[in-house]
Structure formats: C-alpha cells, structure tokens
Amino acid sequence: MTATTARPSLTAKASNYLDERTSMSTLVATLGRKVFPDHWSFMLGEIILYSFVAILLSGTFLTFFFEPSMTEVFYDGSYAPLKGLAMSAAYASALDISFDIRGGLLMRQLHHWSALLFIAAIGLHMLRVFFTGAFRKPREINWVVGFILFILALAEGFTGYSLPDDLLSGNGLAIINGMVKGIPIVGTWISYLLFGGVFPGDDIVPRLFVLHIMLLPALVIAFIGIHLVLMVINKHTQFAGPGKTNDNVVGAPIMPLFAAKAGSFFFIVFGALVAIASTFTILPLWEYGPYDPSPVSAGTQPDWYIGFADGALRLMPGWESEILGWTVSWNILIPIAVLGLFIVLAMVYPFIEQWITGDKREHHIAERPRNNPTRTAIGAAGVWFYAIMWAAASSDLIATHFRLNVFHVTYALQAMLIVGTVIVYWLTKRIAIGLQKKDREILLHGYESGRIVRRPGGEFVEVHQPLDEYEAWKLKAYESYAPVMVRPNAKGKITPATHLRAALTRWFFEDRVSPVTPRELEVAKQHDDH
Amino acid sequence: MIGLVVAGGASVAVGSVASAEPSSAPYAQQLTAEDGELLFRANCASCHGLQAQGTENGPSLIGVGAASVDFQVMTGRMPMAFQGPQAEKRDPQFTQEQTDAMSAYIAALAPGPGVPDDEWLDASQVDDEGIARGGALFRINCAMCHNVAGAGGALTEGKWAPALRDIEPVHVYEAMLTGPQNMPVFNDANISPEEKREIIAYLAYLDENPSVGGFDLGSLGPVSEGLFIWIFGLGGIVAVSVWLTSRPN
C-alpha cells in the first residue's frame, strides 16, 4: 500500500492535526522506544501505578458523597442498629455511602483495599530496588524520590483512615494525640493546634480531609511524575545475562509490545481489586459505631502500614521520669526517635553506602543479593526489625489465637526485636557468602552430576557437568569490591572521617568471595579436559 | 435417683463427667433442690466443697445465685475440665433439668441473682432504636474486652474474652448479671433489665445479619485485612506478573 493511492484515514488525519500543533510525535517516538526488562519484579511499579488509578477513581466517587464535618447529627439512614444515635456528619455520610448510595459500599471497599495494595506494592518494590542495589548511581535521587512517595502514601493512608470518624479511626487519632502530647513542653500546645481545641475537637476531620484529597494527592502525583521521568532518563536496571550488560537494556520496547502487555496488566490489577472489594469486607464501620472518646475496642489496630509504629509503642516498656516537675514520657519519645532514625537511615542509605564503599561508578546491572552480602544482611535485618514491630501491633491477636499470655508475647517480641535483628544480620551474611562460594565452585567445576565413574586406576570420581554459556554468564557477572585504604587527603592529612570510613569499608567487604578471574576459569577448563 | 448419683459419682474425676447419661434418666418429673444437692455432691463438691463453701480448687458458691450456676453449667464451663487461666467452654455436661436442680440447691443456700424471666430475653420486643441503644451500650461497656463486632479479645495473663457469636440470650443476660471470671458484674443499677434486653437484641442482630460487605475475614479488623492484601492480593497479582513475564516474546 502506498501513501499516494490510499486516502489518509481519519486517525491519520487526527494524529497529523495533533502533531502539527504539539510536535508530540517526537515524544511518543522517544518514549515508545523505552525498553522494559522482562522480569516479574519490574512489574511491581506497575501494580503501584494501577492501584493508584483505582484509588483516584473510587476516591473521586467518595468525595461526591462524603461530608467532612464534625457537626452532630442524628442518624436516620437504613442501618437499623445505629438509628437515632448522635454522630458526626462525617460518620453519618460514610454510613450513607455504605448503605444508601448505590455502589457506594463497593466504592468504599475498592478505595480502601486499593490503598492497602498500593502501599504493599510500594513496600515490595522498595525491597526489590534495595536488594538488587538498583539505588546505586545514577539512581540515588530516584530512591529518595520514591522514599518520599512511600511516606506520602503512609500519610494518605493515615488521613484516610481517620476520616470516617468511626470508633476505630477515633482511637487512631487518640493515639496520635497521645504521641503529640508526649513531646515535652510544647506537646500539649501542638495538640490544641492540631485538633482546634481539646481532643477530639471539631476541626480535625475537615482538616485531614483537605490534606487527604488536595495537598497529599497533588504531591503524590507530582512525585510519581518525577519518579517516572527519572526512570526514563536513568533507564531500567536489569539482571545480567548474555547480551545484557551495564551499557544496554534488553527487553520489550513500550510501543507496541509493552503497552499492550501493560494495558492488559492494568485490567488484571483493577479486576483483582474489584473482585476483592466486592467479596471481602473492609472496615465495616457500622460495627464500630460513631467515635466517642470513652469506649475502646479490643483488637484496635491501625491499617497494616501504620502497624510498625503501633507495634513500636506496644513493645516499648512503660518508662517515664519526672524532671523538674515535667513528666518525660520515654515510652513515647524513644519509639518516635527510633522510628524516625530508621526511616531517615533507609531514605539516605544510597548515600551512606556510596560513601562507605567509595564507589562512584554508574551501575545498570541489578546485583544479585548474594553478591553483596553486607548490604543484603543490612536489608534483611531491617526487614526483620520492621516485621517484628509490625507483628507487635497484633500482639493481642497473637495471644488469643495461639492461647498465649499477652505479656509473654510482648517479652518474646522484645527479645526478637533486639537479639533477632543481630542474628538475622549475621545469618543472612553467612548464607549469602555460602551461596557465593557455591556459585564459584559451580562456575569453575560445573554441576555435580551425581554420576560416579571409576577411573582405570580404580579411583572413583564424580563427573562434574560444565555450565552452558547462558548459565555461566549469570554467575560471572559479578564485580568485587575491596576495602578502601586509609589515604591522606589533598592536604596530606588523614582525618578521623577517613579512619571511620576505612573501618566501615572493612566491615562491608572484609568477608568476601572474590569473583572468578578469566585465568582461573582457563585453568579449571584445562583441568576438566583431562 | 441412685443411678443418677452413681453415674455422676463415677465421673467426679476432674475433667470427665461422662455427661451423667442425662437423657437416659427416666425421671420425667421435676427434679428438686434435693436432687440438685445430690448432683452437686457428686459432680462439683470435689472443687467447691460439700456445702458449696469452697475449697482450694474452687471458690465458694454461697450467694452466687441460680443465674451463675445456670450460666456456668449450661455453657459447659462447669464442671471445669482442667485448671487453666480460665474455665474453657465445652458442650454442656448436664441437661437443663439437672442444672435447674443444682441452681435451686445453690439458690436455697443463700439469696443471689436468679435466672432471668423470659420477658427480658425476648429480642423481638426491641425496636430499631432499642437495637441502636443496645449497640451503643455494647460499645461502651463490652467492646473493650469483647471487640466491637463481638469477635473477642485478649486479656491479661493468658485470659481472654470470648467471641459473642450465637450465644443463647439467657447466657448473655446471666453473664452480665454474674460477671463470670474476669468479666465485671453489670447489675441492674448499672444496666437495667430493659437495657440488657437491648444488648441481647443487638447481639442477635449481629448474628442474623452477619456481614454486609462480603466475607468478614473473622472480624479481626485491620490485622486480617492487612494479611489478606499481602498474601492474596499482592501475592496473587505478583503470581500473575511472574506468569506474564515468563512468556517468551
């Protein structure tokens, strides 16, 4: 078909019209050639994006009907067990959404489930990036951007959790109120400011609402934009393999293959969420009843992503002391400090690692976790630390379900938090090094085939089967580090920082398995050929 | 009568009251407080003493009233199966008749709260507003131990507040009246009989209208929701993406 004979189609005309006015084709062509590697872990980001779309759509629906106000009303909707009770307009409208507005309950559940999935997928995505070292230069900034997104997502989640003004969300705010008041001297004032008077006040729901639907979503969208632009600029990392090097990206280009795949993946994620939302209830807020500062329910928990903070409070022994007439609540201050430190360290980790290792090269190959035992061990210990705090948020349920004493559960978790983290660090490092040694063996001498042969001399040997090229590539792609030496700086001085850094690199790289050199491989080959 | 006592006596051995073959008892006529005393001696005295005065294995039952005995025995908590942080619930080991007889015996020792009248147990006499009040009372008085949805919760030292699903109205009433074990007593001054009935009606409402929004994942709140989304939500979707990317282009 030649262009001269065929009349331009409508689409062609429309695209031409657009292109002449926006010059979009260059952009589409460039973006269209962006390549996505074929590995499932690279699709986590998409799950995040698609569940965010589900959140935006269902959330928009909810804003049509939700009334962000703490004015007292008497419920007159169709849920019998709450009829005639005094409650805030916010809670009443959340009940109306659930019972009296068509599709409202589905939308509410879709919104909440999508939020849980959104943050869960963010968590897994961050773990993938961390454990494959994909945050290394040139992607450090994008790690920080992503981390800010994570914090924003937590904030979105928490503000959303607090909006319906049911007993559960009120309990959550009561804890926040307690934490704020635990700050010495200014705590009480900040609490007054936040709640517009004595807790719970009349202002918190409208305030959180503005954050929840305006400021935070705008920030999330802006940061997602930055995150994606940086991703396009930096390109994806990829696992090493034949033809996959530090200088290229192998995979499917966005147009047309990846777009088609991603499009259908969007519907899979969205469909799964709707299926969950229509079959499983989430936050049955009619059971919780309106917020009232006096009742507290057994099993009051925050949503999972805030669990670690709740758990930290539960694990902290109830220390308090009085200094010059002021009560200092260590039981609140210490957890806040520990969590704050944990979060900041995780956020700036790429820079810490870079400083310690002195590695300023660009990296585009995703590292296999075993090939960087110290980082993997730090990560595993961090995951453990987080997971134990998370588990602690459900210490009461652990106790009832396994028929244990809730105090014993708490003591056990405290021990696991402190001792366990160290053990996990050590164990992970050993395991990673062990796996590296195994890889080295396999690369040099091949797999144990399980076939025993007898040599003419009577000696028994097991035949080792050499690796094929494809497999070997994966194992060979491994760079080694050596501890940075203590060197005088430009002024010829050795600063304490240099010493510290040398000590830290030793910690990082002292125990290591050096990669197989080509020479070694050669020798091993000849050996096998006999 | 002798047979009954013997059957009971043989099973005093703590933990196994071979249900005293209740149904096989040929005595269709009303059992009396004396029968109750015999049953008590055979099955309960080892822990509560021959005069129900209490021993080191069990508290005195003087003045606990018929309501307490009815609750403890008909929910299967008594005779206690084994010493633990809290008496476990089992299938009741006695018939209602036998229990009534023991209740009558205990009530005769000293006055105490009696078994409630049917009037206070009839949820159908409570209208929607009453159910709503019952819900509010439940959240204020009971939810801190039993959870708002009545799903139960942990207490200190390995004790727990049980889930309140499908409990007989009479046992709900008696539980409030007698405060079994770690549960406080809610006497009529605290919560009037009308209000108790409203609470019963609210619990009945929860039983009849299980979960509006779909499966409730055990009504355990955000913990079960979080586990669900990680394991089935994210797990399922990741499984799909593994499958998607495993296709050759």
B89: in domain: yes
Residue-averaged pLDDT of chain B: 78
Last residue of a domain, one of B74, B109, B144: B109
Flag whether residue B208 sits within 8 Å of chain A, measured between CB atoms: no
Same-domain check for residues A342 and A395: no
Last residue of a domain, one of A367, A391, A409: A367
Task: Quickly list DSSP for A429-482.
Answer: HHHHHHHHHHHHHHHHH-EEEEEEEE-TTS-EEEEEEPPPHHHHHHHH------
Backbone angles phi, psi at A244, to 5 degrees: -105, 110
Same-domain check for residues A321 and A191: yes
Domain tally, chain A: 2
Task: Quickly list DSSP for A474-516.
Answer: HHH------PPP----TTS---HHHHHHHHHHHHHHSS--PPP
A180: in domain: yes
To the question of whether residue B48 is assigned a binding role by annotation, the answer is: yes
State the greatest distance between any 2 C-alpha atoms of chain A, in Å, as a whole number. Answer: 97
Distance CA A112, CA B91 (A): 40
Nearest CA in chain A to B145: A298
B8: in domain: yes
- A271 CB-contact burial (10 Å; exposed 0-12 / middle 13-18 / buried 19+): exposed
Q: In this predicted structure, what is the pLDDT of residue A215? A: 94
Give yes or no for a contact between A388 and A413, defined as CB atoms under 8 angstroms apart: yes
Same-domain check for residues A118 and A203: yes
What's the residue count for chain A?
A: 530
Same-domain check for residues B102 and B22: yes
Pick from B202, B220, B229: which is nearest to A120 by CB? B229
Report residue B3's pLDDT band, with 50, 70 and 90 as the boundaries: very low
How many H helices and E strands in chain B?
11, 2
Both structure tokens of B41: 């001696």
What's the pLDDT tens digit per position in B62-93? 888 888 888 888 888 888 877 777 777 888 88
ipTM of the complex in this document? 0.80
Closest among B211, B202, B224 to B138, alpha carbons compared? B202
Q: Is the pLDDT of residue B29 over 70?
A: no
Same-domain check for residues A393 and A360: no
B85-124 residues touching A, CB cutoff 8 A: 85
Closest among A426, A202, A398 to A307, alpha carbons compared? A398
Closest-CA distance of chain B to residue A273, Å: 8
Distance CA A43, CA A58 (A): 23
pLDDT in tens, chain A (530 residues): 444 566 778 888 888 888 888 877 777 777 777 777 777 888 888 899 999 999 999 999 999 999 999 999 999 888 888 888 889 999 999 999 999 999 999 999 999 999 999 999 999 999 999 999 889 888 999 999 999 999 999 999 999 999 999 888 888 888 888 888 888 778 888 888 888 888 888 889 999 999 999 999 999 999 999 999 998 888 887 777 766 777 777 777 766 777 787 888 899 999 999 999 999 989 888 888 888 877 776 667 888 888 888 888 888 887 877 777 777 778 888 888 999 999 999 999 999 988 888 778 888 888 888 888 889 999 999 999 999 998 888 888 888 777 778 788 889 999 999 899 999 999 999 998 888 888 888 877 777 777 888 888 888 888 777 777 766 766 666 666 666 666 777 777 777 877 887 778 777 777 777 777 777 777 776 766 55
Domain tally, chain B: 2
Report residue B143's pLDDT band, with 50, 70 and 90 as the boundaries: confident
Give yes or no for a contact between A118 and A55, defined as CB atoms under 8 angstroms apart: yes
- Alpha-carbon Rg for chain B, nearest whole angstrom, is 23
CB contact under 8 Å between B221 and A301, yes or no, is yes
Both structure tokens of A434: 């062990």
* Chain B residues in contact with A393 (beta carbon < 8 A): 223
What's the pLDDT tens digit per position in B96-111? 888 888 888 888 888 8
Paired strand residues for A72:
A88
Same-domain check for residues B58 and B102: yes
Closest among A348, A352, A414, A344 to A385, alpha carbons compared? A414
- CA distances to A205, A358, A374, A425, A496 from A508, rounded to whole Å, are 48, 11, 6, 12, 18
Same-domain check for residues A333 and A378: no
Closest-CA distance of chain B to residue A483, Å: 37
- A185 CB-contact burial (10 Å; exposed 0-12 / middle 13-18 / buried 19+): exposed
Q: Is the pLDDT of residue B20 over 50?
A: no
Domain coverage including residue B194: 118-209
Q: Specify the DSSP class assigned to residue B161.
A: E
Same-domain check for residues A100 and A219: yes
Flag whether residue A450 sits within 8 Å of chain B, measured between CB atoms: no
Backbone angles phi, psi at B43, to 5 degrees: -110, -25
What's the pLDDT tens digit per position in B181-213? 888 888 888 888 888 889 999 888 888 877 777
**Which one is predicted more confidently, B14 or A346?**
A346
* Chain A residues in contact with B156 (beta carbon < 8 A): 405-407
B229: in domain: no
Pick from A265, A280, A393: which is nearest to B244 by CB? A265
B18: in domain: yes
B137: in domain: yes
Same-domain check for residues A389 and A343: no
Last residue of a domain, one of B109, B143, B165: B109
Closest among A271, A152, A286 to A219, alpha carbons compared? A152
Distance CA A290, CA A205 (A): 13
To the question of whether residue B126 is assigned a binding role by annotation, the answer is: no
Both structure tokens of B227: 């586990």
Last residue of a domain, one of B67, B87, B109: B109
Same-domain check for residues A358 and A372: no
Flag whether residue A243 sits within 8 Å of chain B, measured between CB atoms: no
To the question of whether residue B145 is assigned a binding role by annotation, the answer is: yes
* Parallel/antiparallel/unpaired status of strands A35-36 and A252-253: antiparallel
Q: In this predicted structure, what is the pLDDT of residue A161? A: 92
C-alpha torsion angle, residues B101, B107, B108, B111 (rounded to 10): -170
Q: Looking at residue B31, which CATH number applies to its domain? A: 1.10.760.10
Domain coverage including residue A525: 368-479+515-530
Distance CA A395, CA A161 (A): 21
Flag whether residue A120 sits within 8 Å of chain B, measured between CB atoms: yes
- A419 CB-contact burial (10 Å; exposed 0-12 / middle 13-18 / buried 19+): exposed
- Residue found under tokens 């954050």: A211
CB contact under 8 Å between A298 and B161, yes or no, is yes
A313: in domain: yes
Same-domain check for residues A254 and A156: yes
Closest-CA distance of chain A to residue B84, Å: 11
A144: in domain: yes
Same-domain check for residues A408 and A361: no
Last residue of a domain, one of A340, A367, A394: A367
CB contact under 8 Å between B222 and A117, yes or no, is no
Last residue of a domain, one of A367, A393, A410: A367
* Chain A residues in contact with B143 (beta carbon < 8 A): 167, 295-298
